[in-house]
Amino acid sequence: MPSTLPDGDPVPSSGSLPGSALEGLGERPFGFYVHVPFCVTRCGYCDFNTYTASELGPGASQKDYAETAADEVRRARANLGDVDLPVQTVFFGGGTPTLLPAADLVRILAVIEEEFGLAPGAEVTTEANPESVDRAYLEELRGGGFTRMSFGMQSASEHVLRVLERRHTPGRPARAVQEAREAGFRHVNLDLIYSTPGESDDDWRASLAAAIEAGPDHVSAYSLIVEDGTRLAARIRRGELPMPDDDVAADRYLIADAMLAEAGFEWYEVSNWAASEAGRCRHNLLYWTGGDWWGVGPGAHSHVGGTRWWNVKHPAAYAGRLASGVSPAHAREVLTAEDRAVERLMLELRLAQGFPLKEIERPPVVARALADGLLEVEPFKTGRAVLTLRGRLLADALVRDLT
Ligand SMILES: C[S@@+](CC[C@H](N)C(=O)[O-])C[C@H]1O[C@@H](n2cnc3c(N)ncnc32)[C@H](O)[C@@H]1O
Ligand code: SF4
């Protein structure tokens, strides 16, 4: 979730949704995202809506956060009406959700369950910084209904972690995975970042090898984005660090895909690989396939039936709105049919399942992409256009040309 909020249409103080959003509610998968906006320190590259204790200021406290978030869950129930809406996926993200006591995360999940009910086999994930948990903490989460852990590993190279300003040691993520397994988690993800300034191909290979060796059933690998306003961007501007290079990033992607495939991981989205179908992140798939989700927390974005809204950004403003019985939504937009079609193409074309060829409206661009080997027509999924490996490298540009 980027830290800047777009403008949009006003939201009534009750938070009530337009009738169009509520049509068909319950027929699409429904999930919750819970944003936890606290970190011990801010990593030099990160632009997410998160606050360290010294940045937070008065009016919001970590201690009260679980009850504030639970209030928003109750408002969600009131705004969505009493339609049967079992929750298929819950994703706690941050910030560092695991900076809160495990009991607080379990409490928020329990309120979601009380208000909506969880669908059988619901996926419940939390992100965690590897150094922020131990075996007892993980057991408490598992006992409280969490089913999946997602650890921010980023790299196994000490000098890369230093450039990123991460707090954990290179060996800590693997031990966190092991502790999660011992606590009973079947599903564990490791997030990796490539093309950090100073990282070599061999550093990246060693990071992938360490991640695979740790035994997760899911790996996400994203190229480092240099976000304006971060310490990393300032260091690059001052010439202290080189700007990540696109060609280097492309090579690193190819290394990642080859090593992960060799280890039995299959890509199912351009930046995401899973060891089996059960290992895929159903919450992210819900985002990428047009599902409904309610985003709880400061700056959190939601989408229900073609209406998108986003909450006020600062934790104090967020808590203040809820304490006075007002919706924390800052603004919203109702997507047109055309917006939705474009969005669908942008998200679904990045999936290994591809996109129905006949629904793509720019035949000359498709013809060129097929001729250039960026797209292929998947023989077993008749009529779906799927990115080739080369297409995955150029996915952003191709999607831009197609929309
Ligand atoms: C925002 S963090 C939240 C979870 C947790 N605090 C952590 O750091 O793992 C989620 C993921 O986004 C990644 N991320 C944040 N800023 C990024 C950037 N500028 N480029 C690439 N990945 C980024 C993080 O490294 C992390 O793996
Ligand atoms: S710990 Fe995660 S959310 Fe916090 S600053 Fe670092 S990358 Fe961002």
Q: Mean pLDDT over all residues of the chain?
A: 95
| pLDDT score for 381 | 56
- pLDDT tens digits for 263-316? 999 999 999 999 999 999 999 999 999 999 999 999 999 999 999 999 999 999
The protein residue whose alpha carbon is closest to atom 2 in ligand 2 is: 95
Is 295 part of any domain? no
Distance 37 CA to ligand 2 centre (A): 9
Quick one: 268 and 346 in the same domain? no
Quick one: 388 and 253 in the same domain? no
Is 394 part of any domain? yes
Distance 362 CA to ligand 2 centre (A): 39
Quick one: 256 and 379 in the same domain? no
Quick one: 256 and 375 in the same domain? no
Is 210 part of any domain? yes
CB atoms under 10 Å from CB of 143, counted, come to 12
Print the domain residue range for 362.
Answer: 336-403
The residue from 250, 273, 288 where one domain ends is: 288
CATH of the domain at 378: 1.10.10
Quick one: 158 and 229 in the same domain? yes
State the pLDDT confidence band at 380, using cuts at 50, 70 and 90.
low
Nearest to 87 by CA among 77, 97, 95: 77
Residues having CB within 6 Å of any atom of ligand 2:
39, 42-43, 46, 48, 50, 94-96, 129, 152
| pLDDT score for 379 | 60
Atom of ligand 2 minimally distant from the CA of 48 = 8
Report the alpha-carbon angle 43-46-48, nearest 5. 125
- Compute the CA torsion angle 230, 133, 86, 354 (nearest 10 deg): 50
Distance 152 CA to ligand 2 centre (A): 9
> Considering every ligand atom, which ligand is closest to the CA of 51?
2
- pLDDT tens digits for 139-195? 999 999 999 999 999 999 999 999 999 999 999 999 999 999 999 999 999 999 999
Is 10 part of any domain? no
Distance 94 CA to ligand 1 centre (A): 9
| pLDDT score for 4 | 66
Backbone angles phi, psi at 92, to 5 degrees: -95, 120
Distances (CA, A) of 179 to 136, 227, 288: 9, 33, 30
Atom of ligand 2 minimally distant from the CA of 129 = 1
Residue linked to tokens 């679904």: 348
Distance 243 CA to ligand 1 centre (A): 18
The residue from 288, 322, 353 where one domain ends is: 288
Residue linked to tokens 């690059």: 236
Quick one: 188 and 122 in the same domain? yes
What residue type is assigned to position 229 of the chain?
Answer: G
The residue from 260, 288, 316 where one domain ends is: 288
CB atoms under 10 Å from CB of 89, counted, come to 26
Is 371 part of any domain? yes
| 3-state secondary structure string across the chain | CECCCCCCECCCCCCCCCHHHHCCCCCCCEEEEEEECECCCCCCCCCECCECHHHHCCCCCCCCHHHHHHHHHHHHHHHHCCCCCCEEEEEEEECCHHHCCHHHHHHHHHHHHHHHCEEEEEEEEEEECHHHCCHHHHHHHHHCCCCEEEEEEECCCHHHHHHHCCCCCCCHHHHHHHHHHHCCCCEEEEEEEECCCCCCHHHHHHHHHHHHHHCCCEEEEEECCCCCCCHHHHHHHCCCCCCCCHHHHHHHHHHHHHHHHHCCCEEEECCEEECCHHHCCHHHHHHHCCCEEEEECCCCEEEECCEEEEECCCHHHHHHHHHCCCCCEEEEEECCHHHHHHHHHHHHCCECCCEEHHHCCCHHHHHHHHHCCCEEECCCCCCEEEECHHHHHCHHHHHHHHC
Quick one: 382 and 272 in the same domain? no
| pLDDT score for 98 | 98
Q: Tell me the β-bridge partners of 371.
A: none
Quick one: 344 and 205 in the same domain? no
Quick one: 75 and 221 in the same domain? yes
- Mutation choice for ligand 1 from 45, 199, 219, 231, CB with most ligand atoms inside 8 A: 45
- pLDDT tens digits for 324-355? 999 999 999 999 999 999 999 999 999 999 99
| pLDDT score for 382 | 67
The protein residue whose alpha carbon is closest to atom 7 in ligand 1 is: 152
Quick one: 273 and 349 in the same domain? no
Quick one: 258 and 351 in the same domain? no
Is 57 part of any domain? yes
State the pLDDT confidence band at 7, using cuts at 50, 70 and 90.
confident
CATH of the domain at 37: 3.20.20.70
Distance 364 CA to ligand 2 centre (A): 42
Is 246 part of any domain? yes
Query: In the chain, pLDDT over 90 holds for what percent of residues?
Result: 90
* Region 382-397 average pLDDT: 92
Is 321 part of any domain? no
- Mutation choice for ligand 1 from 1, 40, 43, 46, CB with most ligand atoms inside 8 A: 46
Quick one: 150 and 230 in the same domain? yes
Q: What six digits make up the tokens of 400?
A: 């831009």
* Domain total of the chain: 2
| pLDDT score for 119 | 98
383: Cβ contacts below 8 Å, ≥ 6 apart? 356, 357, 358, 377
